[in-house]
Amino acid sequence: MSSVVRSNTHSVFIGYVLWLFGFTGSHRFYYGKTTSGIIYFFTLGLLGIGWLIDLFLIPAMDTAADIKYKPGAHDYNITWILLTFLGVFGVHRMYLGKWVSGIIYLCTGGLLFIGVLYDFCTLNEQVSLANSNG
């Protein structure tokens, strides 16, 4: 019997907080579901229907993310909160030690929001990589 190691990299509570902004897909990005996050972003959560269904899917998405992503010194929850609420200022990048790009975001409004959208798509991988590097 194989056992799956599950770390607690993501939080159901944070998932539900981001679900409140679910019409933007933020909770889907948080759990590493980039494609559906982009679809939710451009369709307002599948016109609210997908957003409502996700109310019941968040615990399973949390479990899958906890299995997939590497724990370490950089906390996924803190990084996601910083991106969600302060992304245009680059604070999440500074938290990950990416000072140059953080300052660029600060001076350019998150590269005119395009960089923020990029980070929504890649932040879990960025945190996992930072945790792998020590």
Confidence of residue 6 (pLDDT cuts 50, 70, 90): low
Please give the Cα distance from 16 to 11 (Å, whole number).
9
User: Among the three residues 68, 93, 108, which one is the final residue of a domain in this structure?
Assistant: 68
User: Among the three residues 30, 51, 68, which one is the final residue of a domain in this structure?
Assistant: 68
Q: pLDDT tens, 89-134?
A: 999 999 999 999 999 999 999 999 999 999 999 999 999 999 998 6
Q: pLDDT tens, 15-58?
A: 999 999 777 899 999 999 999 999 998 999 899 899 999 999 99
Domain that holds residue 23: 9-68
One domain, residues 78 and 63:
no
Q: What is the pLDDT of residue 83?
A: 95
One domain, residues 63 and 100:
no
One domain, residues 88 and 126:
yes
Written as six digits, the tokens of 133 are: 């590097």
Please give the Cα distance from 134 to 132 (Å, whole number).
5
Whole-angstrom distance between the N-terminal and C-terminal Cα of the chain? 31
Please give the Cα distance from 95 to 25 (Å, whole number).
23
Please report, to the nearest 10 degrees, the dihedral formed by the alpha carbons of residues 79, 84, 88, 89 taken in order.
Answer: -40
Q: How many separate domains does the chain show?
A: 2
